[in-house]
Chain A
Amino acid sequence: MKPAASRRGAAAARRRGLWIGFLLAPALLVMTLFVAWPLASAFRYAFYAFNGLAASHFIGLENFRAVLFEPPYSAWTLRALAHNAIVFVALMLVQNGLAYLIAFALLKALPGHRVHQVIVFLPVVLSAVIVGFLWKLFLHPLFGLVNQALMAVGLAAHPWLGDGNTALGSIIFTNAWHWMGFPALIFLAAMQRVPREVMEAARIDGATDRALLGAIIWPLVAPATTIIFTLTFIGSFNWFELPYVMAGLDGSPGGATDVLGLYFYRTAFGSTSAGLQDFGHGSALAVLMFIFLAVVSGLALRVLRRREIEL
């Protein structure tokens, strides 16, 4: 190549490099400043004592020791973790189990199935704040719709959110009402991808709907189940808005609805009951939650991926 041409080539390459850099710069800058750096700092802060908003000095594993082993923090951490586990199992069974059945019913494409898809997804687009307050009013012990309906058919009224035995269940129910449409439409999309011939062949062999659901569709929608499992898991252990709106920052009554999200918020930003904000303990909790979520969902993905089959 002649020297002039190669110089022109080098200039063009530099211009191209600048152009690519210009295209990437804004997104990379925001990602670095507001995702990568904060995340790295979260790990660092967990090893520091805090004085207000500023990290004061390195204290090793002290924050972790406090939230895991020092009463009363350790008891609060464990109680919140147990509640999150209950929420996850209940949502998997009730919300996602129901979603699976609804998806199968919609797969039949009976008249009105398209309208039903729109209806079932309607609560999903609403804010958890709206949904939480709406159901809090409905569950009101005296004037709520739920108790009014129960009394109208001769049953006893119950303080759903006021009784420690039913409060968590009531919020879980509200979550299921809010989100059920999401897994339902994901299952439906997966079921629609099961080849028609496979279903027809099973039917000709005399498979009932129940056999079809259990033996044919269930293994074939495994990728959807993997995703729903993972999203429900992460959602359950990050649960914050609904319990905050329906049970308050302290997880009333008496901590019966306290979950990690509320506990983390109280610890980090303070409340009337937990006292001053403590970024050190808060960071340790956040790091523990992050590691827990990453490890468990990573393991779950490996196990669940193994049962996914390709047709």
Chain B
Amino acid sequence: MKGEWLKNGAIQALLLLNGFVMLYPLFVMVISAFKSNAEIFTSPFALPAGFDLTNAARVWNETSFVLYLGNSVIVTTASVAAILVCATMAAYAIARYPFRLSGAVFLFFLSGLMVPLKLAVIPLFIQLDGLGLIDTRAGLVLVYVAMGLPSAVFILTGFLRTLPGELEEAARIEGASELRIMLSVMLPLARPAMVIAAIQNAVPIWNDFFFPLVFITSDRLKTLPQGLSVFMGEYNTDWGVLFAGLTLAALPIMLVYIALSRQFIAGLTQGAIK
């Protein structure tokens, strides 16, 4: 039993060390946001002298941070909403109605899972350019919807197939329309799968840097990760401001993650766990 104790102690020590390596950099990021340049350079490990919000205020007032944040909120919300609506409709048709091409349609969506859309960025660029959608939020949203649909259709079809048919039949016998059955009877039951699909898409879209870098050139349309890269270049000697910018950029998703960690972990690992 003593050996077991020792071993568990060693394992606990390994986990503590790992936890420290994971958290300490983020902790330093946050405390450095309250420090002056001199403080960061002379005493990088110490706690800040005071709760000084000068750096954060400069990020908020002097840069386009608020604008970038707003753009990220608009693009992410619009993309996730469109993904959920389109994917739910398609998944409902595939899962609840037997029709001739159902298997082929499902396979078409599934094949989208295999395509890294980044590699099709040149034709996407030409496509969006032809539609007049380069340097618009709408163009970015369309690409994200295309990127998110395959996995969302996959998750929702899988879930909708498991719902019992009796509810549907009962509503049909009572004369409810197909639309009514879908909206009031079946979809409320699919809410857990919709949450998973929403998180699985919202996080990569919120964090994406590549597509805005290619498609967005106007400063007023830039998303947060893209805007951050502009800002990091402009303030490159003002470390307090840089750390404040990183902290403010990380804060929204960190807070949501801490509140909903179980759903986040389930949503993001979903595709990889059988």
Contact = CB atoms under 8 A, between A and B. Distances in A.
Nearest to A21: B93
Interface string B7-44: 11001101100110111011011000000000011001
Contacts of B261: 118, 121
Interface residues of A, number: 86
B242 A35 contact: no
B70 to A, nearest CB: 17
Given A30-B86, A122-B23, A125-B257, A182 B120 contact: no
B23 A119 contact: yes
A145 interface: yes
Nearest to B89: A23
> DSSP majority for the B interface?
helix
Nearest to A152: B45
A111 B12 CA distance: 8
A24 B127 contact: no
Interface string A41-63: 11001000000010000000000
A127 B209 contact: yes
A214 interface: no
A130 B90 contact: no
A20 B146 CA distance: 20
Interface stretch (B54-62, B110-118, B162-170, B188-196): B110-118
Interface residues of B, number: 88
A183 to B, nearest CB: 9
Interface string B101-136: 000010011001011111111111111010000000
A234 B242 contact: no
B187 interface: no
A134 interface: yes
Contact of B15 (A23, A105, A128, A289): A105
B99 interface: yes
Nearest to A143: B41
Given A37-B123, A177-B21, A130 B273 contact: no
Contact of A124 (B208, B226, B268): B268
B129 to A, nearest CB: 6
A126 B122 contact: no
A30 B145 contact: yes
B264 A121 contact: yes
A245 B249 CA distance: 15
Interface string B86-104: 1101101110010100000
Given A34-B127, A143-B44, A177-B22, A122 B90 contact: no
B229 interface: yes
B232 A108 contact: no
A299 B205 CA distance: 30
A126 B258 CA distance: 12
A311 B243 CA distance: 50
Interface of B: 7-8, 11-12, 14-15, 18-19, 21-23, 25-26, 28-29, 40-41, 44-45, 85-87, 89-90, 92-94, 97, 99, 105, 108-109, 112, 114-127, 129, 142-143, 145-146, 149-150, 153, 178-179, 203, 206-210, 214, 224-226, 228-229, 232, 239, 242-243, 246, 249-250, 253-254, 257-258, 261, 264-265, 268-269, 272-274
Given A34-B127, A122-B26, 7 more contacts: A30-B145, A41-B126, A102-B18, A116-B19, A127-B253, A245-B209, A286-B120
15 contacts: A19-B179, A27-B109, A30-B86, A39-B120, A41-B126, A53-B126, A110-B8, A117-B265, A119-B19, A122-B22, A125-B253, A130-B249, A134-B29, A145-B28, A185-B265
